[in-house]
Each structure stands twice: as structure tokens, then as C-alpha cells.
Amino acid sequence: MSAPLAERMRPTTLDNYIGQPHLVGQGGVLRKMIETKRISSFILWGPPGVGKTTLATIIAKQLETPFYTLSAVTCGVKDVREVIEKAQSNRFFNNASPILFIDEIHRFSKSQQDSLLGAVEKGIVTLIGATTENPSFEVIRPLLSRCQVYVLKSLDKEDLLKLVDNAVLTDVFLKERNFRIEETDALLRYSGGDARKLLNILELLYESAPADEDIVINDTIVYDRLQQNPLAYDKDGEMHYDIISAFIKSIRGSDPDAALYWLARMIEGGEDPKFIARRLVISASEDIGLANPNALLLANAAFDAVHKIGWPEGRIPLAEATVYLATSAKSNSAYMGINSAIQMVQQTGNLPVPLHLRNAPTKLMADLGYHKGYKYAHDYSNNFVHQQFLPDELQQTRIWHPQSNPQEVRLKEHMQMLWGDRFNE
């Protein structure tokens, strides 16, 4: 049984490696490392199918050094230690350190990562890790500090088309058939910048075509053969967080067009509508806030509507809330205010409540001065009277700072009328 096309097409040298010119092109940092045969530990961070494993294999071959590979999915601390012992026994004076390649290093537990530290620090092995997740969050700091992180990018259209040409012209099986490539939009969309996925699709088209006919590639045939959502993404993966981040930042940045675009990406990708609705509620509070209090009401109403009506109509209240929030005036004064208050509480501890603000449900408490001197605001003009509400140590402290949108300007003017200089900033 022959190996899959993606495996047959795996490059063995940098000259036939496709993509990542910033790393392996002329003057690229990894190419320089290979040329000088001096390589230090590093982590390759990028989406699936962009050549992380291939690159590690090419480096090991070029350096002519022992190459060990572990998958974080299947191995434990014992496996790591065994490989390190083998690497130590295969280390020769003045030779490059053996390379230990760990695929999906973000899946290693803390104890597994800890077991690598000594070997990496002493140069027993040169570590090359591969991950689809942000190493800053998934790799322990001591190990991360000993590794350089290189970012690999999704393959662009030119890279993918070059890969298709190489496969149909050079693969031992595909080159025996006549390919007629009429359209590539669907092929590229389904691959999503992933070389492995692209080659798997190409192999599927090859295997599903009658043996005595040309292999035609166009959008209709690709859609018919695959019958899946080309825009689906891993809800626990990096793209999930990147897209929701772009969505929220577009709302915060008052760009309704961009916000709707990222909303559409999430809808077409199969995102949970309740997740989107929850983020709209958070954005309404954090980014619009007091500049337009109605934003929170509308976001909450959109959440309820999505829960009641579901898909596909649920996209409409989500879009309405998205545009409303993006076009609203912005303020984070309440968000900043509660953060400042929490920080103040953490720094000052449990300061006593002023006696006049305390309840006095018993005679003893009343005798001790609880509630004594409290002034009921509604008994005074404008429903306001000057009195102390903060603990003694914080009497002059300002926590909430109104911003310059029309709504908060009015609130500030009202506070100045009541409190005078306290709200003059």
C-alpha cells in the first residue's frame, strides 16, 4: 500500500520546501542556521499543514545529526527521559547536539516540559517544538526562555498553486494521469492555507475520477466531492480566539463593516451563537458603557432573541446588535472604575464602614453609634445632601472618571452641581 500523497510530496531539502520565505528564503534566519550548522533550540508556531514537521526533518538531515521525535499526544515523562538518555549516549565531542522534535508541544503537561529543561539547558539535545497554539500560554516560562519562537504563516495562493503543479507533474502516480485544472477557488478555500489538506483533496479527486478519463478540477466538482463547510474552524483553536478578538476590536474601533465581516466569518464557521451573543453583552458593558446605556439593553435583548429563535434567523438580531454597538459612542469609564476599585480594595484591605452608614437593628448597635448621623437623601433638595460614603482613609479618593462623550458630560455636570470641586478634573 502506497503512502498518502501528502507524505509522498514531503520535501527533503530547503530548495523544494514551499512557503515561509521569511524563515528559509535567502537570508532567512533558519537557512542561515543550517548553512552555518549552528542551531539553537526553537519552537515553530503556526497553523496546521504549513511545514513545521517537514522543516524540522530537513534541518536534522542537513546537519547530519541524530533526530528523535516525540508526539505530546502519546508520550509521557518516562518517554522523554528515555530519549534524552539515548541522545546523551549518541552525543560526540564537537558534533552538533542530537535534535529532539516534539510535535504538538502545547499538549505536554508541566511535568513533561520540566523534564526537558535540564537537557536543553546543558545542550544534551537541541529542542525543536511544533505547536498550533500560542507558546506564551502553553509552554512553561523556563522552557520558553531557552527557545526562540518562529512564526509560520498559512500558505498563500501562489504557494498552494505551486504545490498543486508539483504534485500533478512529479508524483509517481498523479503524473501518469492527465489533469485539467479549470478553476481553483474552491480547492484553495477548502484547503485554508494547509498544504496537507490541499494534497488530501487532490488525492481524493484523483481517486474518485474514472481511470479512463481526464481528471477535471473545477469548483463544482470540488464542492460535490467534499460536501463540507470550507469555513469551519476549531472552536478550541487559535483561529477561534483570533476571530472573536478581531470582532470585538472592530466594535471597539467603531467599524461596523469590519464587525459584520467577522460576525459573518463566525456564523459561516459554525460558531455557537450564544458565544457570540455573550461577547456582545460584554462589549456593550466594557466598551460602550455609560456613553450609551441602551447598548447593554439591546445586546441583552439580542441574546434573548437568539435563544428563542435559533438559526438561521438568529443572525439578524446579532447583526443588529453588532451594528448598534459599533456605531455607538464609546466609554470604558465603568470598566476602568471597577478595576480601580478592586485594585484599591486589594491594596487597602477591609477598611471599616463609617458608623453612620451601618444598620442599627438592635439597641446595642444604636447605642454604639451605628446609623447615627445618617442623612436620608430624599429628605433634601434635589434628593441630595453632602455626607461621607467612603471609608475615612479614602474620603478624597476619586475612582470613577467620566469621559468626554455627550452622555457622560451630562453626568459629570450633574455630579459637579452636587459635589462641587470634587468632580472638577
What's the total number of domains in the chain?
4
How many angstroms separate the first and last alpha carbons of the chain? 78
Domain membership of residue 337 (yes or no) is no
Asked if 378 and 273 sit in the same domain, the reply is no
CA–CA separation, 351 and 410 (whole Å): 32
Task: Specify whether 298 is located in the same domain as 244.
Answer: yes
Q: What are phi and psi of 20, to 5 degrees?
A: 55, 45
Q: Considering Cα of 262, then 267, then 272, then 273, what sign does the dihedral take? A: positive
Range of the domain at 277: 238-327
Q: Indicate whether 2 belongs to any domain.
A: no
pLDDT band at 243 (very low <50, low <70, confident <90, very high): confident
Same domain, 247 and 321: yes
Kindly state whether residue 170 falls inside one of the protein's structural domains: yes
Number of Cβ within 10 Å of residue 36's Cβ equals 8
Q: Are residues 147 and 77 in the same domain?
A: yes
Q: Give a yes or no: residue 411 inside a domain.
A: yes
Listed residue (401, 405, 408) closest to 423, CA to CA:
401
In a shared domain, residues 308 and 257: yes
The cell numbers describing 396, all together, are: 478624597
Residues 42 and 131 in one domain: yes
Please report, for the domain that includes residue 360, its CATH number.
1.10.3710
On whether residue 298 sits in a domain, the answer given is: yes
Same domain, 409 and 373: yes
At residue 7, what is the residue type?
E
Pick from 201, 226, 251: which residue ends a domain?
226
The answer on pLDDT for 302 being more than 90 is yes
Distance CA 418, CA 425 (A): 15
The residue from 199, 226, 253 where one domain ends is 226
Task: Report pLDDT for 128.
Answer: 92
CATH code at position 317:
1.20.272.10
- What phi and psi, each to the nearest 5 degrees, are found at residue 210? -55, 140
Determine how many CB atoms are found less than 10 A away from the CB of residue 284: 25
Mean pLDDT of the chain: 85
The answer to whether position 345 is within a domain reads no
In a domain, 4, yes or no: no
Query: Cα separation of 240 and 100, whole Å?
Result: 30
CA distance 378 to 389: 16
Over residues 176-191, mean pLDDT = 87
- Give CA–CA dist 215/202, Å, rounded: 10
CA atoms within 13 A of residue 303's CA, in its CB half-sphere: 17
Stretch 114-128: mean pLDDT: 86
Phi-psi region of 141 (alpha: psi -120 to 50; beta: other; left: phi over 0): alpha
User: Quick one: pLDDT band at residue 95, thresholds 50, 70, 90?
Assistant: low
User: Are residues 272 and 375 located together in one domain of the fold?
Assistant: no
Give the residue from 151, 172, 204 where a domain finishes.
Answer: 151
Residues 147 and 165 in one domain: no
Q: What is the CATH number of the domain that holds 116?
A: 3.40.50.300
pLDDT at 232: 53
Please check whether residue 361 lies inside any domain of the structure.
Answer: yes
**25 plus 145 within the same structural domain:** yes
* Domain CATH for 194: 1.10.8.60
Q: pLDDT for 9-43, tens place per residue?
A: 999 888 889 999 999 888 889 988 888 888 889 99
Reply yes or no on whether the pLDDT at 231 is more than 60.
Answer: no
Q: pLDDT: is 234 or 303 the higher one?
A: 303
Model pTM score: 0.60
Q: How many CB atoms lie within 10 A of CB 273?
A: 21
Same domain, 106 and 40: yes
Residues 107 and 123 in one domain: yes
Q: Measuring CA to CA, how many Å separate 229 from each of 141, 226, 284?
A: 38, 9, 31
